[in-house]
Amino acid sequence: MKYLLMIYGPDDWSETSTPEQEAAEMEAHDAFAAYLQGRGAAFSGEALHPSNTATTLRPSENGDGFMVTDGPFVELKENLGGFYIIEAADLDDAIEVAKHCPNDHGIEIRPVLEFDS
């Protein structure tokens, strides 16, 4: 089963971190990728730009189109900073995998809804 690991953290991390902290973070994610490769299951992941670069699309109130607005839907202290999509046997296995993921603020684990083609 596929699970989405959503990694949350402060938006200003890249502005407030030192080059050494950024290098350590990259090393930690490289180690996590090696861990995932060692499991032999498919995975992918990406880092995201800060939430102030987001664009939100919502249905218009009258239902005849869409409203496009700058920024995220809600303002939070911690925002989605990156994600991994992993293969895991079940939720317990996904939790075990997430424990190895670099993270100082929180990871949301959510099963991916898969449709039969």
Q: How far from chain centre, in Å, is Cα 70?
A: 20
Cα 117 from Cα 112, distance rounded (Å): 15
The pLDDT score that the predictor gives to residue 2 is: 96
Q: Which of 35-39, 60-64, 107-111 has the lowest mean pLDDT?
A: 60-64
Asked whether 83 and 47 are in contact (CB, 8 A), the reply is no
Instruction: Write out the CATH class of domain 2-111.
Output: alpha beta
Q: Is the pLDDT of residue 76 over 80?
A: no
Structure pTM? 0.84
Domain locations along the chain: 2-111
Q: Which of 39-48, 75-84, 88-97 has the lowest mean pLDDT?
A: 75-84
Alpha helices (H) along the chain = 13-16, 19-39, 91-98
Q: Which residue has the higher pLDDT, 83 or 71?
A: 83
Alpha helices (H) along 12-86 = 13-16, 19-39
